[in-house]
Structure 1
């Protein structure tokens, strides 16, 4: 046997051994996790699943990620990891469990993992058995020809489609075994690769899902352009009707003062006071306009302090918790700031709340903000509503919005934006 042939044989035997070991992970690990997942999800309405589902799904994801690693290492099959970044939850109690479970169940990758578990313990397991079976099974034919056929001398033992009951039929079984061994050594690597390709078909996002994602991103980009255009028109209108009108009036007053300063000093003095008032009002309106475009505190101090400043202006008691080790990009900070502003405004205007909690932190490549109030609940994302506006604003940055607002409260608005901090 040549060196190349020995190398191919060794590789095939190694592949068969890998398939043998991996078959236990498929039939035992995938089956157990699938059963646990189904039971945990079934018990979610009873409340028990709220505590078990995050733990079970974390185990499922770890199991799937190990398979991704083996696919890339053993067969060079790349399976993407499409999980939405899930930061460690700082909240405790029932609210935290509900939030974790909701975010997990909203992730399409969770359901792809469950589909893969079912596929892995059936078709995936069969491919693994074939991978090592076609290498191991031929050994039985060789053993039969070596003398094991004598055990079945008074009866008939079927080796594949060969009835073994004599030395001649034992040699026929050995010949078939050699053919099967040759076939198994050649098919081991393709069969193992087929197993991983099958896993990729279940775990990777479908083309339709990617198309819908692109369509959503395109839609949010168009909405962002429309929003920017309407914002420019609002700024133009506010300048025209507010500060510009006051500046024109102030200019007219200064012209009148110039004409009256020697003829009627008292009248000129009164007009000068009016001009000073108009100047102060125009300056205040310009400051408000600039604050509406990009608050100075946001530019100077960052998102954390800007959110604290927002909370201080709220007419209800507000608590703000911030854990940001750096700063996000200016567009992301601006989107997050105005999203929080809208959420706080909704809590004050519609929820009839007397206390608000705001939590801002960054983990796992995700900026995560939650606004919770103890109001009457019943909030929902709808077209034309404040929450709908927040969803569109976050969608521009591929962010997501989750709302938990049962009747009677409390209401929790959770916002996530993928970003990196400086």
Structure 2
């Protein structure tokens, strides 16, 4: 259906749909100038891109001989990324539905990490292939179309050209002079036929280029599949970590607080037995012993009961401390009440290694961000106390460009392997769910630095 359809009818959403919906009316729709503009920009940008690719290739191969051509060749491979982005933007002339960016988001990644990731992605190679095609085959086709369009436009205006140059004769075609404006009317008809041909040819070329761009510049199912697989694995690791944490809590309750409460119950039972024995003694004591022995026995029972009650109070206090420590390990109350800086300060005061904290935040952050940062710091401090042999640790935290950046550094022996334990791996999965990054650098000899970067939005 054409552009002049009623409001209840759906308008074509692409060049191909518009062409096949109403071929006879297509040359008079808005799609024709859009297709021509798209192909003209291809004809202009294609040769420029070809020169850039050729210069990078020759320069890279030339410098390869002296051992410095690798950065240039890397730039040649990566040149497809900006050209692909520009091509996706140009598609808006003829495609109302935008082509998504096929690359993974890399928030907060450094330059080297970003380059390594882009070089490994298949989308980068597809964008380079599109750049090569756009600078050669597609550019040649667009140049040919541009030549046809220009000549057709000139032929349509040929009577005006002949009239402006009269009384001289004009050679519109080699070997055929046109003596006057009326003699140029057949060329006008040929020019109109050429413009009609350009309307259909431009639509077909544009549809072909759009299809190729969507195939090479858009996301593929295998790219999305790998991302979904990685997210699934991350969630599976998180589930395993949560299950391990649940078992740890059960074990701590069974081996710690539960044992203390059992001992408390037994102590209170003994105290009750002593007190009941004292209450039942006077009558029996009056029959069996004299008053002096009975009072001495009652005094001894009172002393034992008092000792048992005091021991019970100590066991209750110890059980309460263990429960508080367990709850603090699950989620510290100070983190909820006073925020990340206060919670890290509390952990630093209890740490066996001197810890210098420098955390300045403009305001309270979302709970997921604070919780993730807190447990990252505590895990780093725990690892430093167990394995690093460090004598000093520093914790630095700031908010920069909408991201919380926390860095924990110790002066230990280094050589830490983040993949060796489940603690940092589980934290990395939690950070990944918040679209953040967790980086560990630990050269042999130290120092060891753990760096957390997470968006302050917490999502």
TM-score under structure 2 normalisation? 0.66
CA distance in 1, matches of 2:127, 2:408: 35
The structural deviation recorded for 1:334 is: 3.0
Matches within 5 A, 1:323-362: 323=361, 325-330=363-368, 333-360=370-397
The structural deviation recorded for 1:108 is: 6.8
CA distance in 1, matches of 2:215, 2:319: 63
Q: Tell me what 2:147 maps to.
A: 136
Is 2:262 aligned against 1:248? yes
Superposed CA offset, 1:267-297 (max 9, x none): 1221122111111111110011001111112
Matches within 5 A, 1:191-340: 191-192=205-206, 194-261=208-275, 262=278, 263=298, 264-314=301-351, 315-323=353-361, 325-330=363-368, 333-340=370-377
CA distance in 1, matches of 2:430, 2:376: 7
CA distance in 2, matches of 1:77, 1:174: 38
CA distance in 2, matches of 1:414, 1:121: 40
Superposed CA offset, 1:345-397 (max 9, x none): 33343344444444445667765544344444433332545433433444555
CA distance in 2, matches of 1:27, 1:283: 78
Q: Is the 8 A contact 2:153 2:195 kept in 1?
A: no
* Candidates 417, 422, 434, aligned match of 1:380: 417
CA distance in 2, matches of 1:76, 1:389: 42
CA distance in 1, matches of 2:415, 2:190: 72
CA distance in 1, matches of 2:83, 2:341: 37
Q: Is the 8 A contact 1:124 1:198 kept in 2?
A: no
Q: Tell me what 1:105 maps to.
A: 116
Q: Tell me what 1:401 maps to.
A: 438
Q: Is the 8 A contact 2:38 2:90 kept in 1?
A: no
**RMSD of aligned C-alpha atoms?**
4.6
* Candidates 20, 23, 37, aligned match of 2:40: 20
Matches within 5 A, 1:84-99: 84-87=105-108, 99=110
Unaligned runs of 5+ in 2: 5-24, 159-169, 178-183, 279-297
Unaligned runs of 5+ in 1: 90-98, 154-169
Q: Is the 8 A contact 2:118 2:124 kept in 1?
A: no
Based on CA coordinates, which of the two structures has the bigger radius of gyration? 2
Q: 1:103 to 1:142 in 2, by over 3 A?
A: closer
Q: Tell me what 1:72 maps to.
A: 92
How many residues get paired?
385
The structural deviation recorded for 1:241 is: 2.0
Question: Equivalent residue of 1:253, what SS?
Answer: helix
CA distance in 1, matches of 2:273, 2:68: 81
The structural deviation recorded for 1:16 is: 2.1
TM-score under structure 1 normalisation? 0.71
CA distance in 2, matches of 1:283, 1:31: 76
The structural deviation recorded for 1:326 is: 4.5
Question: Equivalent residue of 1:137, what SS?
Answer: helix
Q: 1:349 to 1:410 in 2, by over 3 A?
A: same
Question: Equivalent residue of 1:350, what SS?
Answer: helix
Superposed CA offset, 1:123-150 (max 9, x none): 3664355346424325437869972433
